[in-house]
Amino acid sequence: MANDMHLEVAKRKPGFKALYFKKKLSESRDKSGWFHTMLHGKELDYDAIYLKGNDGGISNLNIELISSEMDQIDAERFEQFVSSYLFGENLSGDWPLETRTYFFGTDRFGNDLLSRMMIGTRVSLSVGFISVFISFIIGTFLGLVAGYYRGWVDKAVMWLVNVIWSLPTLLLVVALTFALGKGFWQIFVAVGLSMWVELARIVRGQVLSLREQEYVQAAQVMGFSNTRILWKHILPNISGPIIVICAANFASAILLEAGLSFLGLGVQPPMPSWGQILKDHFTSIVWGYEYLSLIPGVAIMLLVMSFNFIGTGLRDALDVKMD
């Protein structure tokens, strides 16, 4: 119900209940695969017609439309039935009615805010995972080759790192978004390409230290290839700092995505995201509908704080110098 708009129930407070008539579709909607459904959801197989809410308001019942869906229904009896059974109690299976409870209320378009928050969770976590994966691949690779080979390779990588590091992160993400376009996948790439710099610096410093260790020199003397030394001997020994940086980058990616969506540069409607919900309703806080902006704001704060706590816990758990 994330995009099932009903203007009759716009801006209803949390806990609002409404009764709907389920109108059968004349044409069946296409059934998508599970992967498409996981990313984009699925459409309802019926059209919901608003009848009445628990605030006493009742819509102008289109009895003729509803009667066409049910065989020889008496209009007056049906309206009495709707008024008597608002919350779906003791409903007969012959009545195609549905009661919806809006636990987080509805937004200005009449969408279920809880459903949109749930879909927004998928967007935020997806951006975090994919952007961190992109930054992990780029940052780890450049850090390994710069620290191991040194010389002109190290100078070239560090020049690139310093150039990217000198640019404000949000400005860089905005520029990449303009270059790649607005959309669901573009935001992953834009955020990922802006977060690899710190990881590359950390990995380079760790590799510069480890390449002088005896086990690395022994591997070189035995004739092992540089690729094997990097991926079999050095990378496993620097996994701790990499995991900690990735956990911190996850929280940063969520904040960047929320900021871009708030500016209108993130995922585009009708796909919901927490930043977009906040953007659409941040002025509602002064009109008595503060829940519309507080709920996504608190969700962003709690998710970012959770991953910061995870990063701190991993740092303490993987630090070999601590008792």
Half-sphere exposure at residue 17, Cβ-oriented, CA atoms within 13 angstroms: 9
CATH 1.10.3720.10 positions along the chain are 113-318
Per-residue pLDDT tens over the stretch 273-317: 888 888 888 888 777 788 888 899 899 999 989 888 888 888 777
Is 88 a residue whose pLDDT tops 50?
no
Is 87 a residue whose pLDDT tops 70?
no
Buried/exposed 70-109: b ≥16 CB within 10 Å, e otherwise:
eeebeeeebbebbeebbeeeeeeeebebbbbebebbbbeb
Lowest mean pLDDT among 1-15, 130-144, 211-225, 234-248: 1-15
Per-residue pLDDT tens over the stretch 258-267: 888 888 887 7
Q: Among all chains, which residue has been given the structure tokens 């040194």?
A: 150
Is 64 a residue whose pLDDT tops 80?
no
Question: Domain 113-318 falls in which CATH fold?
Answer: MetI-like fold (1.10.3720)
Give the residue with greater pLDDT, 84 vs 184. Answer: 184
Q: What is the CA radius of gyration of the chain?
A: 27
Look up the pTM and report it.
0.77
Q: Among all chains, which residue has been given the structure tokens 């780890």?
A: 140
